[in-house]
Chain A
Amino acid sequence: MTLIHLAILLPIIAAVIVGLSKKYSKRIHTGWLVLPVPLLIVIYFLTLIPDVNRHDVLYHSMNVMPNIGLNFDVYVDGLGLLFAILISGIGALVVLYSIGYLSHREDLTSFYIYLLIFMTAMLGVVLNDNVLGLYLFWELTSISSFLLIAFWYNRERSLYGATKSMLITMGGGFLMLGGFLSLYLITGSFSIREMIAQVDLIQASELAPIAIVLILLGAFTKSAQFPFYIWLPDAMEAPTPVSAYLHSATMVKAGLYLVARFTPIFAFSELWVWLILLTGLITLAWASFNAVKQDDLKAMLAFSTVSQLGLIMSLLGLGALGVHTGAAEELFTVAIVAAVFHLINHATFKGALFMLVGIIDHESGTRSLKRLGGLMTIMPITGTMTAITAASMAGLPPFNGFLSKEMFLEVMVNIRHADFSFLSDVSILFPILAVFGSIFTFIYSVILFKEVFLGKETEDTPKTPHEAPWLMLASPLILSLLVIVFGLFPNILSQTIIDPAAMGILGTTTALDTQIYHWHGFDSPALWLTVFIIVSGTLLYMTRHHWMFIYEYHKEHFTLNYLYDRGLVYSRISSKQLNDKFVNGNVSHYLAYVLGFFVIVSIYTFIVNGMAIDIRTASPITLQEMIVVTIILIALAGILVVKSRMVALILLGSIGFSMALLFVMFRSADLGLTQLAIETVTTTIFLLVFSKLPDKESYKYSVKLNIPHLIISVGVALTAIIIGYSAYSNRLFDPISQFHIDNVYDLAAGGNMVNVILVDFRGFDTLFETLVFAIAGLGVYSMMRLRLNTKKEGDDHEEHIDESRL
């Protein structure tokens, strides 16, 4: 347990304290108590920056379950530290914002407990070296996210969104665990650093593609990549601080972290590069295209988040490509730097935008674009900040989004120089998709600002809008300032944070010395692409009423949401149908399954293993025995067909007495005796019970021939005969009875071997058989006496007579 373990676990400790201090925090907003936690953590992590810059990697182990390899091993390099600072820093801002956003009427204690659990989980994910520990924290983020989305649990949409995100992210997380386990099978280690050291082993393994696909499924579901992005727009039912924190700045980046962290391991694989690259670009284009049609501001931001995550994902794919080819190394280093830079930028501007949308919602009562307009004069501060952050999102100078978007476009254009499988043939596709996505990003950024703040004021809002209190404006203000500062002075980030993180992704220790410039000169293709994006984006925005109809073709039936909903409904219906069909409450069906299974398994075993039937030592057959056997067969046939249960009972009795005869013929005197006695008593009990069962008719109806039952019964008979024969003819050992025969008098002082075995050699059998008998007697007695639901007294009297007769 070191200071850094404590830093990770501090939020969850604070969560316990918040829970315990619930009744003392009536006067003061719980958020003020929570605020110091992320502040302390972010200050601590900022002090680690010099260490990481000197490449002093921090590694501290803590044993949890060392026997199965599950340890809490903390490992801090540039990449982990970047995420940790983002998580705790934005966490502090979000807590501050939530103090203004959530009132005392809400269940604040629960809210902050969930939020603090999430913080610990997220820090645990990004600072873990042990993949099992990483998986545990990963699932904890899914659980806390589920709780936060369903914070207003009496709303149906919240529950729907929470369930959906839970199903998708947990499903992905579970697959990811499979990937981790395959990596363990290859390398024999759960430590990421040791896996990196054994990368040649992974490269040679056949399991590697499976591990790649499974881990990527985990990353794609968490980071809302195509086609798993569908949970993110529905997660917008959460309170806005949650959307800002989890669904733009931190949790959705866990997938990006995972991809970045495993790049040194998997970058050798073409599968890894192609999957990440293509999924990222498709997500980018598709989500920005869909964001434009959204009416709800938060839904628009959700699609925007998906699209930006796709952008970062594709850049990570290109970075992996650089490791793969080794050629044009500089180009792909730029891709990694751009990915890291945009990751930071997106956290700043998207966090701010969510908070600003939250302010608009809070002060005007609606988030619908149709009902908002002309808020600039009423909410000038909010409006200005929205303009700045939206411009950064659109990629306009001089804000930070411009810089990372420039780098992105440059990399996408230069991709044609890469020498990688058939990449050069399709390289034209990448800039096209990138520019397409960027144009739509520009359009929805414009809509976001212009439709809400410009134009004429609408009187449609549920509340009269007014400027928000400073408490709520503080956090977006800090983030907007960061947007400007990072935009104007990007190099304060490049040496301190971006380079160590990029080196962490590339797995190198050579310094990169990144310098980020605004001006690349006129010969830079990215500049002209940016100009093209702005011009065509403006044109498309102006003429949007003429082309918005294309979204009409996008019918409900073709959306992924529809598939998801139908899939859920059909899985529920089909499992119910399956259940109703096979678990139908009909006991004879169940017995048929059991017997059928027995027959099929036995036949299969005989087919596979064969059988040897050898009746070399059969004893002679006598006429008397044959007569008895014939009697049994005739009686048996009679039981099956007669319609009177009395006749059937007599036939059953005759089988029992014939069995006694057989026992006598087979030299078993005691058996014959017992069988005779028992059969007599059994028949007597049957007769007694029959006299109490008046509906003789019902027996008649059940005699009808049933062909499926007949087939099963014949199968059972044949199987039993085959098993009996093969068991009999393949005797492996001599019987142990010779011991009993030899020692019956010397050891037990008895002459009757069967009885000596029963009471002496194997007396325990007899003891418990007696117990069975006693229990049966008690059972019969209590079944006749016990009346749980007492009926009329007349009935009771009648029953009493019955009992005495029994």
Chain B
Amino acid sequence: MELITIILAGILFGAAAYLMLSKNIIRIIFGTAVLSHGAHLMLLTMGELKRGAVPVLDETVDAYADPLPQALILTAIVIAFALTAIILVLALRIYKELGTNDIEKMKGDQNAD
């Protein structure tokens, strides 16, 4: 199963890269969201999958899934959410100030320097 999740995470990274390379700021935000999914999946895979029960103490179980990557991912999910929220609002604000969502139109005055 690890093989498949690593490939899936790689595809998520590639798709995120493609989305982030585009001009529209909404697509860039979609890209960051996809990127964080890929990263979480990769983290979980590195801790090895399905090698025991859910990591909640139980006298009858002798093997648990690795709890440490799960804790790390939990932190990462929350931070990724905070990031997504703030760049979304940033995109909104940019649209209100500049009237565009196209990052190529956000260059400012080229002759200023």
A-side residues, CB < 8 A to B, are 585-588, 591-592, 595, 615, 617-622, 625-626, 629, 632-633, 636, 639-640, 645, 648-649, 652, 655-656, 659, 662-663, 665-671, 674-675, 678, 681-682, 685-686, 689, 692-693, 695, 698-699, 701-703, 706, 709-710, 712-714, 716-718, 720-721, 724-725, 727-728, 735-737, 740-741, 744-745, 750-754, 757-758, 762, 765-766, 769, 772-773, 775-777, 779-780, 783-784, 799, 806
- Scoring B22, B47, B83, B108 by chain A CB atoms within 10 A of each residue's CB, the highest score goes to B22
Tell me whether B13 and A639 are in contact (CB under 8 A): no
A interface footprint on B39-83 (CB within 8 Å = 1, 0 otherwise): 011101111111111111100000011111011111101110111
B71 to A619, Cβ gap below 8 A?
A: no
A700 vs B48: C-alpha distance when bound (angstroms): 40
Contact between B24 and A671, CB atoms less than 8 A apart: no
User: Can you list 15 A-B contacts with CB-CB less than 8 angstroms, sorted by A residue number?
Assistant: A592-B21, A620-B1, A640-B18, A652-B33, A667-B65, A670-B74, A689-B88, A695-B100, A699-B101, A713-B17, A720-B38, A741-B67, A773-B79, A775-B82, A776-B83
With A619-B50, A776-B82 known as contacts, the answer to whether A656 contacts B37 (CB < 8 A) is yes
**The one of A585, A689, A712 that contacts B89, using a Cβ cutoff of 8 Å:** A689
Q: Are B66 and A735 in contact, CB atoms less than 8 angstroms apart?
A: yes
B26 touches A712 (CB 8 A): no
Q: How far is the CA of A674 from the CA of B80 in the complex (A)?
A: 12
Q: Quick one: given A669-B54, A754-B71, A773-B78, are A699 and B24 in contact (CB under 8 Å)?
A: yes
> Do A619 and B4 touch across chains, with their CB atoms under 8 A apart?
no
Assembly CA distance A587 to B27 (angstroms): 14
Partner of B75, one of A681, A758, A777: A758
- Closest 5 pairs (CB-CB, A-B): A717-B14, A721-B10, A776-B82, A753-B67, A702-B24
Contacting residue for A783 out of B3, B17, B54, B90, CB 8 A: B90
| B23–A666 touching, CB < 8 Å | no
When C-beta atoms are compared, the residue in chain A nearest to B7 turns out to be A721
| Contacts A717-B10, A776-B86, A780-B86 given; does A619 touch B68 at CB 8 Å | no
CB distance from B58 to the nearest CB of A (A): 8
Query: Are B18 and A619 interface neighbours, CB within 8 A?
Result: no
| Interface pair B26/A693, CB less than 8 Å apart | yes
Q: A668-B65, A698-B101, A780-B86 are in contact. Are A720 and B70 (CB under 8 A)?
A: no
With the chains together, A714 CA to B15 CA distance in Å?
8
CA A752 to CA B54, docked complex, whole Å = 9
Closest CB in chain B relative to A470 CB, distance in Å: 57
CA distance A636 to B46 in the complex (A): 23
Residue of B nearest to A655 (CB): B37
Whole-angstrom CA separation of A754 from B53 in the bound complex: 13
From B45, B68, B91, B102, contact of A724 by CB (8 A): B45
Chain A interface, >50% SS class: helix
Cβ B37 vs Cβ A659 within 8 A? yes
Determine whether the beta carbon of B10 is less than 8 Å from that of A702: no
Say whether A619 contacts B8, CB under 8 Å: no
Decide: B68 and A735 in contact? CB cutoff 8 A: yes
CB distance from B112 to the nearest CB of A (A): 11
Within 8 A of A (CB), among B96-113: 96, 100-104, 107-108, 110
- Inter-subunit contact B24/A615 (CB<8 Å): no
Q: Is the CB of A670 within 8 A of B70?
A: yes
Residues of B within 8 A of A663 (CB): 44
- State how many angstroms separate the Cβ of A619 from the closest Cβ of chain B: 5
Known: A636-B15, A716-B13, A720-B9. A667 touches B50 (CB 8 A): yes
Measured CB to CB, the closest approach of chain B to A188, in angstroms, equals 48
* Closest Cβ–Cβ distance, residue B16 to chain A (whole Å): 8
Q: Tell me, in angstroms, the Cα distance from A741 to B53 when the chains sit together.
A: 12
Contact (Cβ within 8 A) A668 B6: no
CB-CB under 8 A from A745, the residues of chain B are: 57
Which A residues lie within 8 Å of B19 (CB)?
639-640
Q: Whole-angstrom distance between the alpha carbons of A9 and B7 in the complex?
A: 72
Cα(A765)–Cα(B78), bound, Å = 12
Give A727's nearest chain B residue, CB to CB. B46
- The smallest C-beta distance from A621 to any residue of chain B, in angstroms, reads 5
The reply to whether A633 and B77 contact each other, CB–CB distance below 8 Å, is no
Given contact pairs A744-B57, A769-B79, a sample of 9 additional A-B residue pairs in the complex whose CB atoms are under 8 Å apart: A640-B15, A671-B70, A678-B81, A692-B96, A693-B26, A709-B22, A724-B46, A753-B67, A806-B89
Which one of B68, B92, B107, B110 lies within 8 Å of A693 (CB-CB)? B92
Task: Verify A588–B23 contact, CB threshold 8 A.
Answer: yes
For B79, the chain A residues whose CB sits under 8 A away are: 769, 772-773
Flag if A735 contacts B47 (CB, 8 Å): yes
User: Does B12 lie within 8 Å of A757, measured CB to CB?
Assistant: no
By the criterion CB–CB under 8 Å, are A758 and B74 in contact? Answer: yes
Nearest Cβ on chain B to A436's Cβ, whole angstroms = 52
Complex interface: chain B residues within 8 A of A618 (CB): 1-3
| Most chain A CB within a 10 A radius of its CB, from B82, B102, B108 | B82
CB distance from B43 to the nearest CB of A (A): 10
Contact B56 A668 (CB under 8 A): no
A689 adjacent to B86 (CB under 8 Å): no
Set of chain A residues within 8 Å of B104, measured between Cβ atoms: 586, 588
